[in-house]
């Protein structure tokens, strides 16, 4: 399968994506724990069916020290006992933030309060930005039908 669009050769995409890349870097450098960032990025990508991002964040999670067990179980985090309460709160917020069209209220107060119990305001800001960022990147890839060949290497994009 070939991608419908090649964002790497488009002048318009090049102008826009340099800012997107900078935003992603800012979130990556935030005080939100790296392992949490990768688990959230992976879960959002699973929900959106973005193969490229699933490949990337599975490998980045491993590079950040995640175990294969936890990476594999992120899709069923509610039933898995390997995640901490803060991670569970972040994953719940990620799901509600990704599925905003599926619920009348979007992100519920209970999910927000649970996340706020575990993360300070700077970390919550980073978490909200990460969820939004991943949804945008996932959508770019899904719209373009960007395939994944599994060849991504951790750290490849810097």
Taking the domains of the chain in order of start, what are their residue ranges? 32-144
How high is the mean pLDDT of the chain?
Answer: 94
Taking only the tens place, the pLDDT of each residue in 77-95 is: 999 999 999 999 999 999 9
Report d(CA 61, CA 68) in Å as an integer: 9
| In the chain, % of residues over pLDDT 70 | 99
Q: Residue 62 CA to chain centroid, in angstroms?
A: 15
Q: What angle do CA 30, 34, 36 make, to 5 degrees?
A: 105
For residue 156, what pLDDT is reported?
Answer: 86
Please report which confidence band the pLDDT of residue 7 belongs to, taking 50, 70 and 90 as the band edges.
Answer: confident
Segments in the chain forming alpha helices (H): 11-28, 34-48, 51-63, 68-73, 85-98, 109-118, 121-144
For residue 43, what pLDDT is reported?
Answer: 98
Report d(CA 41, CA 98) in Å as an integer: 11
Give Cβ neighbours of residue 121 (< 8 Å, ≥ 6 apart). none
For residue 61, what pLDDT is reported?
Answer: 94
For residue 28, what pLDDT is reported?
Answer: 94
CATH class name, domain 32-144: mainly alpha
Instruction: Tell me the average pLDDT across 1-14.
Output: 87
Please report which confidence band the pLDDT of residue 29 belongs to, taking 50, 70 and 90 as the band edges.
Answer: very high
Instruction: Tell me the average pLDDT across 132-155.
Output: 93
Please report which confidence band the pLDDT of residue 2 belongs to, taking 50, 70 and 90 as the band edges.
Answer: confident
* Angle of helix 51-63 versus helix 121-144 axis, rounded to 10: 140
Cβ(108)–Cβ(96) below 8 Å: yes
Report d(CA 89, CA 15) in Å as an integer: 35
């Amino acid at each position: 399968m070939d991608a419908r669009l090649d964002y790497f050769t488009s002048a318009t995409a090049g102008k826009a994506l340099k800012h997107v890349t900078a935003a992603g870097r800012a979130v990556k450098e935030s005080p939100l724990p790296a392992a949490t960032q990768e688990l959230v990025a992976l879960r959002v990508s699973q929900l959106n069916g973005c193969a490229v991002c699933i490949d990337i964040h599975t490998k980045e999670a491993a590079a950040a020290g995640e175990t294969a067990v936890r990476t594999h179980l992120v899709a069923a985090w509610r039933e898995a006992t390997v995640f901490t309460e803060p991670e569970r709160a972040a994953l719940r917020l990620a799901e509600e933030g990704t599925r905003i069209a599926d619920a009348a209220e979007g992100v519920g107060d209970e999910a927000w309060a649970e996340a706020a119990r575990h993360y300070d305001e700077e970390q919550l800001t980073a978490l909200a930005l990460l969820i939004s960022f991943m949804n945008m990147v996932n959508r770019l890839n899904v719209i373009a039908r960007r395939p994944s060949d599994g060849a991504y290497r951790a750290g490849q994009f810097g």
